[in-house]
């Protein structure tokens, strides 16, 4: 990675499959089902030195399907934030789109609504100095539509399927954090 990262950069993160383990064919509906991906907490502690703010943008259509309530989702997110904080990391805000994919709501990735909401709240966000890290086509398209650098989290074979949407590919957040540490202007 050849970026020169400093505290003027923003990190946008997807949740399922990036921060926590994805449940194939299901949704994480409780704290008991929420499991951090390997190295994630260490990576988030490193990111706290590189970025301000750190934002999660997550589609959660399980709410729209009635499989969990917004309150249950908020409990999961409070747990996530608490565990990240205990590990020395920081999440500044979590934006959620609870809508069904079929609704094509402006906030649901790959639409840019959650990014626009973040910039309204965090006035210093410059999308050209932002990274979107995610594990899906919609994450990469969301980042590109806003002019961000995009990082595909997963294997290189899946990253190739993204074509030019993925600027970089790392197997997990810990590998991304180590790459950023090597090009960061933060000591």
- The residue from 14, 135, 139, 167 that is catalytic is 14
| Catalytic residue list contains 16 | yes
Active-site entry in 6, 16, 26, 92: 16
Q: Are strands 10-13 and 149-153 parallel, antiparallel or unpaired?
A: unpaired
CA distance 147 to 128: 6
User: Is 167 designated active site?
Assistant: no
| Sheet with strand 54-59: strands edge to edge | 93-97, 54-59, 10-13, 130-134, 149-153, 168-170
**Can you tell me which residue has the tokens 């995009």?**
150
Catalytic positions, written as ranges: 14, 16
């Amino acid at each position: 990675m050849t970026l020169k990262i400093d505290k003027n950069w923003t990190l946008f993160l997807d949740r399922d499959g990036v921060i926590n383990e994805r449940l194939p064919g299901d949704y994480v509906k409780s704290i008991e089902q929420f499991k951090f991906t390997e190295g994630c907490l260490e990576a988030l502690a490193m990111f706290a030195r590189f970025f301000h703010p750190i934002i999660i943008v997550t589609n959660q259509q399980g709410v729209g399907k009635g499989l969990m309530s917004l309150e249950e989702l908020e409990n999961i997110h409070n747990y996530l934030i608490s565990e990240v904080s205990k590990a020395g990391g920081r999440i500044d805000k979590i934006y959620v789109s609870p809508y069904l994919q079929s609704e094509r709501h402006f906030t649901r990735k790959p639409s840019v609504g959650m990014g626009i909401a973040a910039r309204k709240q965090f006035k210093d966000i410059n999308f050209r100095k932002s990274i979107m890290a995610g594990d899906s086509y919609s994450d990469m398209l969301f980042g590109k539509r806003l002019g961000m650098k995009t990082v595909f989290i997963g294997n290189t074979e899946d990253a190739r399927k993204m074509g030019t949407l993925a600027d970089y590919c790392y197997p997990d957040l810990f590998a991304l954090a180590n790459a950023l540490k090597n090009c960061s202007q933060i000591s």
